[in-house]
Structure 1
Amino acid sequence: MKKFIIALFIGFSAILQAQEIKQDTVHKNKPFILDEVIISTAFNKIQSQNVMKVEHESIKSLQQKGMTTLIESLATIPGVSQVSTGTSIGKPVIRGLSGNRVLVYSQGVRIENQQFGDEHGLGLNDAGIESVEVIKGPASLLYGSDALGGVLYFNPEKFAAANTFQANFSQKFFSNTLGSNSSLGLKTSTENWKFLARGSYNIHSDYKMADGERVTNTRYNETDFKTGIGYSNSKFSSIFRYNYNNLDLGIPEEGIAEQSTNKKTDYPKQGVFNHLLSLNNVIFFEKSKLDVDLGYISNDRSEFEDSEVAILHMKLKTFNYDAKYHLPKLGKFETIVGIQGMNQTNTNSGEEYLIPDARTNDFGVFGTGVYEWTSNALQAGLRFDNRKIISDARGIAGSAGSFEALDKSYDSFNASLGYKTNLAEDLTLRLNVASGFRAPNLAELTSNGVHEGTNRYEIGNPDLKTEQNVQTDVNLEYKSSHFEFFANGFYNHINHYIYTSPTGEIIDDNAVFDYIQNDAKLFGGEVGLHFHPHPLDWLHYETSFETVTGKKQDGDYLPLIPANNWNNTIRTEFKIKNWLEDGFATLNVSTTFNQNNVSGFETKSNGYTLLNLGFGGKMKLGKTAFDINLNANNLLDKNYISHLSRLKTDGIPNIGRNIVLGLNFNI
């Protein structure tokens, strides 16, 4: 039978979908669960109708895995990894691409926080975030420069239902780092007005390895505050949100030195302050709508060597705008046209300069359309972008720490074409071809000095060209009541791939590296299945395998390519009368293989297998009810070093056994 279902999300327009519901999937007193509406793509359709395959994970499901940080949780999604420095700093890697090649969106705004640097993380806390969507591939059609490798799109916490008040408190404890994560949230709504606020505090000491020693100065603490207010009626919706994030990070330079459980960061250390303001507006017309998103980000990054006087102090201020007009639907054809841009300034006030004072301006215009018939959909789009970078001169030309004035402009045309069809009732095929681009960043264009954390003297190249790629994706997906299967394959060709290469020179005891370019290619994919047999509906088995290979045109391997991984999970769901509902227990075995395909400046990495356990549910003690989550990660206390760990060159292993207890109370 066919039913029409209305999907509603505060701040977005209603979505009316015709969904085929098979008779054998409808059970008395059992709800029918529809796919989540995907916000990060152009037409906000449910996943089963989307032309592009997008990974969607709720933050709650990621938190149930008991990871220490948000980025560590994201790395459990097939095709996603992290470049890490201990437990405090992690940067996302999507199918072998990272840094400025991966865009991060929060509150509908592009995050700009000097993301070219390896010495700091996302600057986002998972408290106050509802879910994450991962686009694995070029998304420059919707997001412009730097979406060449993919997009992480974080959906903020939903407002309370109309005429309700909600409050909750959550607390986590971490045995390895003796850490604590506390969060308090309040939200209330009337028929038209919505309000919420959430504060969080996260603190950890140095992490402990399997041999019992701690890695000196990997401690950190984080303060996060989010608030939002919204108004909506049948004609208009507007939401204002604000996020303040303060990270105090220790920088591990001595490796295994003074053993301490002190949580106060020692020198050298880093302070990263982010202010994110967003205003999301939707105006509804009779047969169309206009989305206007405005954002402002103030990023303040300081580094301290041996005192509270910052030797490096950079302030990055970014204003974003994004306007999309959804034209009236013409039969089975939908169209969106839009403009997007960014104005950015970087200023320095410390003794050292990592990049010069500079201004960056982006402007893009695009159009995309989708045509649907029966179980098929064809989507295509075209976009033009311009990025202009102007920097100031500093110092004496040619001397260490000097910068020459820069005035560069980069243009790019990009297109995408995708097709989705149902080969059978439960079998979906998606084919996508898309191009993307990335203009060189300020570090690549202007560097002239020692890059902190790399012990390399890096020299920029003002003649670098824009990176341009074309990626082909194939997705095959089967989904029935008790069995799901997916297979994703991709081939990504990048022209003018930017990387560093040694010159053979030495300056101040540091090897000199130049920024150069070469064509490159990456290929691989993910395959997996989810089996929950009837009548054992309480039992689930999930397995997935992911692989990526990256090579330069000359045949050498690209750096920072994650090793192949095979992940297996057995999950049981149960209820214990009178005191535990929605109970679950998980056994996870994650096997990472040897990484022998390394660049000329990397060493090979040995494989390892980690065993993780999880237990949780909604517990009732008298009239008190709360959610509980207990995890034991790296249960066997395995001594291992991830290939993407920045501490690998010093032979420092990753975190040992970590017991995590999480509690959540609705007040």
Structure 2
Amino acid sequence: MKLLFFFVILVTTLQTSSAQIILKGQIKDKNTQINLQGATIYVVEANKGTSSDESGNYSISGLGKGSYKIQVSYLGYETVIEETQISNTSETILNFELIKKSFEINEVVVSSPYILSQEKNTFKIDLIDKNEMQKKGAFTVMDIINKTPGVDAITTGSIVSRPVIRGLSGNRVLTVVDGIRFETQQWDDEHGIGVNELGIDKIEIIKGPASLLYGAEAMGGVINFIKSKPVDVGTIRGNALAAIYTNNLGARVNADINGANENLNWGINISSKLLSDYFFNGYDFRVPNTRLLENGFKTYAGINKKWGSSTLTFTNNKAFYGILDAKDIVIDEQGQITNVDVGEKEKFPFEVEAPFHEVTDYRINSKTTVLFGDSKLETVLEYQNNKRAENEEQTGSKKGYRYLDMNLQSYNYDVKWYLPTWKKFKTIVGSQGMHQTNKNTSKAATQIIPDATINDLGFLAVTKLDLDKIILSFGTRYDVRNLSTQYYSANNSNIDAISRSYNNLSSSIGSSFYLAKDLQLKVNYASGYRAPNLNELTSNGVKLESQHYEIGNSNFKKEQNHQFDFNVNYSKKNFSVDASVFWNTINNFIYIAPTGNQVASNIDPTITLEAYQFYQSDATIRGGELSFNIHPSSIKWAHFETKASSLIGKRSDDDSYLPMMPTTKFTNTLYFSFDKVLNLKDVFINLGTMTALKQDKVATNEMKTPSYTLVNFAIGTKIKKSEITLTANNLFDKKYLNNMSRLRSFGIYEPGMNISLSVKVPIDIK
């Protein structure tokens, strides 16, 4: 690890004697040959960009010899990504002709082994723009992630949610931020994803273990948060956004300011969120302690030279999540849900009161790209410190007492070498690793998981063969994990010390080819693995949120899966269809279920609770997703989109259903957009429905849920340069139970109608 840090310091100070190279050219409309002013030109390896002038011309200086990817985008046109080899010492001319689009169907994605368009990738990657948060009245990033077909969320109220990709969740889904895996005690459903929108431009989702680039545990898939690109050279600008929400009287604000010159770029991002408890059935029932207080800060500084580029990022985030105490929710004699905690008198309480989670994240990230002629080396180093505490109720104290207090420290590295192209083969080799320690502080009353040390080491190789109409990809990686824990004993809770080692060889093979002019097929096979987490191996105590006593098993084997995935895309001028089917077999699948026994609480031995235990069984999950878009070229101001997803998960030993599996869902949305309406510019109107079918394919003793349909609405416009958006989610205040909610067993419904008003104001200093 130290050698890698010294290496990065060395390469970032390298200087060469060669003259700087200028990349220049012109951007035009391919059909009309009209010059396009304001097109964005971004050089990936140099991490710098500019915009075209009134004549469509652009110029980027300060480049060195090497292989570069140039990304050109312009509103209303298809984004172009082109790789070019710069070898002379003065200037290189590269012109682009862009094609108008009626609907975006071939986006550029960066989560694949190579930055390229969807049609050039061998597996499907779903892409979400961060601006969807504003257009959909979202409070957290999970509110837009779970709108993707095949992606759902296990929720605890309206603010705590964890992603579920094709039925797999927890640390089977890898979260990647700033190019490296994000560690946040992700073994528990009660622990949210832990990522906000600070400094994020897009979110890309890989379904299944098809990507070998991001590390072990990506059995279910990867959610990759793509950071914003630097602003144009010679500019300083940003945005400020404020939004309010009616259901829980919530508000969120964030602001960013970014600048760049020829060799330096920098940015500062801040955010704050405040949310009271949510309501359903009008303002008839307030769900207690589902509130949030969160503040975040992110800053970065980057340098670009002839040898490449390097960026240093610092992130700090602190959040208080209220915990709904299960013992406060009862069903009265009339069968109505009742909150028996009468201590809270306010209708919209904001004060942090026990029980609650207190989560603090610190991250320092360094990403460096070094060019070596027609190859390049990318290195990402990161230190993460995740502090998670949990306070329980105590008479006479609103803050209660410290029940849990854990400090998770992670040192991660990710090194990839992009080899020179050889006979149309593009190959990447690399290594990833992590050293992680979990410490329980003496401030806490107990431990749920013990003090532990984890060491990961992985090696990977992937290659792609591009034959224009046929694209093939192959990959393999080897991972090893060593895990050791310390003995713990208190009250009636004992956790034995263990030492375990796990290793695995994963692989993938995929192809993409055209069956006809507009009909493309992608076929993939991939395998992945996951070592049991600390909770599954060692848990022996009470979970406050569920009021269950959970028991782990230190003899668990590793999980391993094999997924076959088929995707077909048919695109015409006026409509497009995208469909996927998958079959995922999982060896040694770990799940939790009630034992039927009562055990004494480790908090108060006079109280007994229902015992839940972790088990292993082979399992199969199969299903698919469908997306259908009508985007008439003759009616450019409207298009219609419908999406659907469905799956079934079963244990192999007794053919019973797996717990917490998403139900079948359908969404239909009608989009309208106008350049001008009266004196208003860039007007849009979205009207949609989301239907979830009843979920009766449930595990033993798991609650079934009825079907429901929600109606959502959004309207927005620009006044001068400010964007104003009004949204209404669950427009008709439907009372419904979400089968992925951890609160459904208490008879607690999901949030009722929520109206949001947001204003986004650009900041243009230079």
Are the aligned partners of 2:324 and 2:545 in contact in 1 as well (CA < 8 Å)? no
C-alpha separation in 1, matches of 2:230 and 2:202: 14
Counterpart amino acid of 1:89? V
Q: Separation in 1 of the partners of 2:517 and 2:758? A: 41
Answer yes or no: is 1:311 the counterpart of 2:398: no
Aligned residues: 654
Secondary structure of residue in 1 paired with 2:494:
coil
* Equivalent residue number for residue 239 of structure 1: 311
**8 Å Cα contact 2:173/2:221 also seen in 1:** yes
Shift of 1:264: 1.2
Among 681, 690, 696, the residue aligned to 1:596? 696
| Cα drift, residue 215 of structure 1 | 0.7
- Report the Cα offset of residue 35 of structure 1: 4.2
Matched residue SS, 1:344: strand
* % identical aligned pairs: 37
CA distance in 2 between partners of 1:479 and 1:400 (Å): 62
Gaps of 5+ in 2: 1-29, 34-39, 48-66, 71-80, 84-96, 330-337, 601-607
Aligned mates of 2:587, 2:98 — CA distance in 1: 48
Kept after mapping to 2: 8 A contact 1:400/1:448: no
1:519 alignment counterpart? 618
- Aligned pair partner of 1:92 in 146, 158, 163: 163
For 2:104 and 2:408, locate their aligned partners in 1 and report how far apart those are by CA, in whole Å: 43
Matches of 2:754 and 2:647, distance apart in 1:
29
The answer to whether the Cα contact below 8 Å between 1:449 and 1:458 also exists between their aligned partners in 2 is: yes
SS across alignment from 2:369 = strand
Match of 1:277 in 2: 364
Q: Does residue 69 of structure 2 align to residue 15 of structure 1?
A: yes
Instruction: Give, in angstroms, the shift of residue 157 of structure 1.
Output: 2.1
Asked if residue 384 in structure 1 is aligned to residue 438 in structure 2, the reply is no
CA distance in 2, matches of 1:207, 1:404: 41
Residue of structure 1 in register with 2:23 after alignment: none
- Residue 631 of structure 2 is aligned to residue 539 of structure 1: no
Where does residue 115 of structure 1 map in the other structure?
Answer: 186
1:600 is paired with a residue whose SS is coil
SS in 1 for 2:108: coil
Aligned partner of 1:178 in structure 2 is 249
* Structure 2 counterpart of 1:517, one-letter code: Q
Q: Map Cα deviations across residues 201-247 of structure 1 (whole Å, 9 max, x no partner).
A: 10011111124221111111110111111111232210111211111
Asked if structure 2 preserves the Cα contact closer than 8 Å seen for 1:278 and 1:295, the reply is: yes
Q: CA deviation at 1:495?
A: 0.4
CA contact (8 A) 1:11 1:280 kept: no
Partner in structure 2 of residue 439 of structure 1: 531
- Matching of residue 647 in structure 1 with residue 743 in structure 2: yes
Distance 1:34-1:597 versus aligned 2 partners, 3 A rule? closer
- Does residue 341 (structure 1) correspond to residue 433 (structure 2)? The answer is yes
Partners of 1:80 and 1:93 within 8 A in 2: yes
Q: Shift in Å at residue 539 of structure 1?
A: 1.0
Distance 2:297 2:106 in 1: 30
Q: Which moved more, 1:269-278 or 1:453-462?
A: 453-462
Tell me which residue corresponds to 1:194. 265
What is the alpha-carbon distance in structure 2 between the residues aligned to residue 608 and residue 10 of structure 1? Answer: 48
The separation in 1 between residues aligned to 2:631 and 2:98, in whole angstroms, is 14
How far is the alpha carbon of 1:147 from its aligned partner? 0.5
State whether structure 2 residue 171 is matched by structure 1 residue 79: no
Residue type at the aligned position of 2:697: N
* 1:225-624 correspondence to structure 2 within 5 Å: 225-253=297-325, 254-255=328-329, 256-257=338-339, 258=344, 260-306=347-393, 307=397, 308=399, 309-349=401-441, 350-395=444-489, 400-508=492-600, 509-553=608-652, 554-576=654-676, 579-620=679-720
SS of match in other structure, 1:63: helix
Asked whether the equivalents of residues 62 and 74 of structure 1 are also in contact (C-alpha less than 8 Å), the reply is no
Tell me the TM-score normalised to structure 1 length: 0.94
How many Å separate the matches in 2 of 1:617 and 1:426? 35
Give the C-alpha shift of residue 440 in structure 1: 0.2
What do the CA deviations read for 1:353-411 (whole angstroms, capped 9, x no partner)? 01000000000011111111121111001111100001011227xx7321111110001
| CA distance in 2 between partners of 1:485 and 1:82 (Å) | 25
The SS at the match of 1:445 is helix
Give, in whole Å, the separation in 2 of the partners of 1:63 and 1:154. 17
TM-score, with structure 2 as normaliser: 0.82
| Cα RMSD after superposing both structures | 2.2
1:455, CA displacement in angstroms? 2.1
Unaligned segments of structure 1, at least 5 residues: none
**Paired residues of 2:242 and 2:251 also in contact (CA < 8 A):** yes
| Conservation of the 8 A alpha-carbon contact between 1:627 and 1:665 | yes
> 1:330-370: per-residue Cα shift (whole Å, max 9, x none)?
12111111101111000001111010000000000111111
Q: Which moved more, 1:532-541 or 1:302-311?
A: 302-311
- Which runs of structure 2 are paired with 1:108-147 in the superposition (5 Å)? 108-139=179-210, 141-147=212-218
Structure 1 SS opposite 2:163: strand
> How far apart, CA to CA, are the structure 1 residues paired with 2:551 and 2:599?
11
Quick one: structure 1 residues 131 and 505, their matched pair in 2 at CA, closer, same or farther if it must change by over 3 Å? same
Return the index of the structure with the highest Cα Rg.
Answer: 2
- More divergent stretch after superposition (286-295 vs 472-481): 472-481
Distance 2:388 2:299 in 1: 23
Matched-pair contact (CA < 8 Å) for 1:26–1:32: no
AA aligned opposite 1:387:
R
Contact 1:250-1:268 within 8 A present in 2 as well: yes
Q: Which residue of 1 aligns with 2:56?
A: none
Mapped contact 1:595–1:605 kept (Cα < 8 A):
yes
User: Counterpart of 1:219?
Assistant: 291
Report how far residue 488 of structure 1 moved.
Answer: 0.5
Task: Name the structure 2 match of 1:659.
Answer: 755
